[in-house]
Each structure stands twice: as C-alpha cells, then as structure tokens.
C-alpha cells in the first residue's frame, strides 16, 4: 500500500467538504498537470492512503487523511465546455485527464504545518523529510508520493 499527499485550497474544497460529502467520497477532478495526472492514472491504487494538505491559506499544512476508493478514470469535466477546467484538447475517445475518488478517513488532531515540516527537513538533511517534494523550494506539484518513512514520521508529529 502506497501513500500520497494531495493539495487543495480549503476555500475551494477542504477536508471539511470531503467529510460532508455523501459517502464522504469525492472525485478529484480538475487536475491539469501531467505529472499529477500520471500518478492518478498509473500509480494510485484502491486502499492507498493520502495526506490531505491545505494550500493557499494562512497556515498551510496537512490537516487530515483520506484513502483512494476508485482508481484512475477519465476526468469528464474536461469534456464539458461549461466546466471550470474544460480542456477542448481532451477527446472523450482519448481522454487527456484522469482522476481518482477519495474517501474521507479522519482529521488529524492538529495541523502539521508546512513551516514545521520544512524546519524538520532542514534540521535533518539526511532524514526522510528532506526528500519530500513539498518542502523543496519552488515545488508546485499538487500530488506527490510519500514514502513509508515519511508517512510514519509525519504521523508521529500529530
């Protein structure tokens, strides 16, 4: 079972929104980045666990845990001219964009902030967190793999 970290802006869709959904499940649509697309299309498996990260907010950080309940399938919002992330170059017979379904698992007892993760990564340059793309300068990936060691270390911070 693999682990991931997925970013979302809480103003648009936060962990509380996921928890409030019917079946506490939501398709992760709107991703229009090839690296992130590839991970959803090719690598994420049912049962994988996900750190839910809040970006573009006062104290960005990991706020909860979700799990993959449906593996990569075409993101149909790309076909809809009225949708926010419509992409005319995505052909329904050869879809360009994919998504997975995520199900809410739980909130963390506290937010593990980006500041904290960065500080730990710097304090221990040989430790697991130093390699987490999230704490690297200029990182813009909205979906990234999390190693077993990173997952365990971060959960221990809770």
Partner DNA sequence: GCCAACGTTGGC
Which residue in 1, 17, 115, 124 binds DNA (CB under 7 A)? 115
Q: Which are the contacts of 16, defined by CB distance < 8 A and separation ≥ 6?
A: 10
Which residue in 1, 20, 21, 34 binds DNA (CB under 7 A)? 34
Task: Decide if residue 118 touches DNA (CB under 7 A).
Answer: yes
Q: Where are any strands of DSSP class E within 15-138?
A: 25-27, 49-54, 61-74, 98-113
Nearer to DNA, 47 or 136 (CB): 136
* 3-8 and 49-54 strand pairing: parallel
Stretch binding DNA (CB under 7 A), from 32-40, 64-72, 102-110, 123-131: 32-40
Nearer to DNA, 139 or 148 (CB): 139
């Amino acid at each position: 079972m693999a682990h991931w970290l997925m970013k979302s802006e809480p103003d648009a869709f936060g962990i509380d929104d996921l928890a409030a959904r019917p079946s506490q499940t939501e398709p992760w649509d709107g991703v229009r980045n090839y690296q992130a697309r590839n991970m959803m299309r090719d690598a994420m498996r049912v049962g994988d666990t996900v750190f839910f990260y809040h970006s573009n907010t006062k104290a960005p950080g990991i706020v909860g845990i979700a799990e993959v309940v449906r593996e990569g399938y075409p993101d149909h919002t790309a076909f809809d001219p009225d949708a926010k992330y419509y992409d005319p170059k995505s052909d329904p017979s050869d879809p360009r964009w994919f998504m997975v379904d995520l199900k809410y698992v739980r909130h963390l007892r506290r937010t593990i902030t980006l500041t904290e993760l960065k500080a730990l990564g710097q304090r221990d340059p040989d430790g697991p967190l130093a390699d987490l793309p999230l704490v690297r300068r200029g990182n813009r990936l909205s979906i990234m793999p999390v190693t077993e060691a990173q997952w365990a270390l971060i959960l221990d911070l809770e």
